[in-house]
Amino acid sequence: MVSSDRREYHTGRWPRLFQSTPPEVLAPTDSATRLITMTQTNPSPLAARTEHSCAAFSRCLRIDAHQHFWQYTPEEFDWIDDAMAHIRRDFLPADLAPLLRPTGVDTTVAVQARQSLLETEWLLAQADAHDWICGVIGWLPLASPDFPQLLERHAAHPAFCGLRHVLQAEPPSFFEDASFHHGLQQMQSCASSRRNLVYDLLIVEHQMEQAIHLVDRHPNQIFVLDHLAKPRIASGQLEPWARHLRALASRPHLVCKLSGMVTEADYHRWSIDDLRPYVEIALEAFGPSRLLFGSDWPVCTVAADYNLWFQAVQEMIASCSESEQEAILGGNAARVYQIGPLDARP
């Protein structure tokens, strides 16, 4: 359970990178519209949750904005089919920690894999136990009458960044559900009093038009599009995905993760040339200031180990300037998810 005696968000310790000279941290913004602009060409309420930039650090925090932990059971992870049998086991912080050092990744955002309140609290407990887990995207029942109280309680945890629901598994009618939209409105209300909570969008390519309408209904909610909306990389199909991605990118309160791509390609025969067209379209649509690196570990391991995927991303963004690469590899996630100090522990 979430502890009731936690310290305030901006107290406590920083990850090890900042233990000697932590950068200045500003108080959370009071609405999405106060976020500073991330691009000059497309002013956005999405921009920065803090006024400091990458220039404040010797280098940006390198952040994996999308990874999972789980304790495997066949019943709860029935989406792991035989082709993914490799990941039918537990994946815990002790498994991920040694993979981060070779890539220089400093900290991660752990994302829900089950629609379970118990899993959300378990992920927050992992963040308590491991200082390199600086964010959690959990799951709470948005449509429940208990949602406001659950949100208030979990939002008090310093690692709690926002919520995700497995929209990719829902029917079209779910996108119009009044209780779902009411829950999103309550997220914005809670965020205005504490900090701006993020909603991660997990959708597949054929749901992109519905996602556009969803995002338009909540112009003050920050959205993060997971896995580029899962384009059909294995077949090399770009349309209508590219058209819809550009439409989503025109919504300034939405950013996108460069993640989950190798598992949309041929697991065993993919190449960077297969992925590059999709990354180039994402760079064109969102710009380097609205893209976030994510590993999707351990799911990615059915097609690539952690280091291989990280190197692939580095190669695909090599045409960007050094500062733009730093933003994609961490600076943008730090702003969007308000990655900051964790609470002090006894």
Hey, CA dihedral for 322, 196, 49, 64, is it positive or negative?
Answer: negative
At 70, is the secondary structure helix, strand, or coil?
Answer: strand
Over 50: is that where the pLDDT of 28 sits? no
Q: What number of residues does the chain have?
A: 346
Q: What is the pLDDT of residue 339?
A: 86
Q: What is the pLDDT of residue 116?
A: 95
Give the mean pLDDT of the chain: 84
User: Which of 60-69, 89-98, 332-341 shows the lowest per-residue confidence on average (mean pLDDT)?
Assistant: 332-341
Over 80: is that where the pLDDT of 242 sits? yes
Domains, the chain, ranges and CATH? Answer: 16-336 (3.20.20.140)
At 314, is the secondary structure helix, strand, or coil?
Answer: helix
Angle at 71 between CA 144 and CA 332, to 5 degrees: 70
Instruction: Tell me the mean pLDDT in the region 166-193.
Output: 88
pTM of the model: 0.84
Q: Confidence class of residue 234 from pLDDT cuts 50, 70 and 90?
A: very high
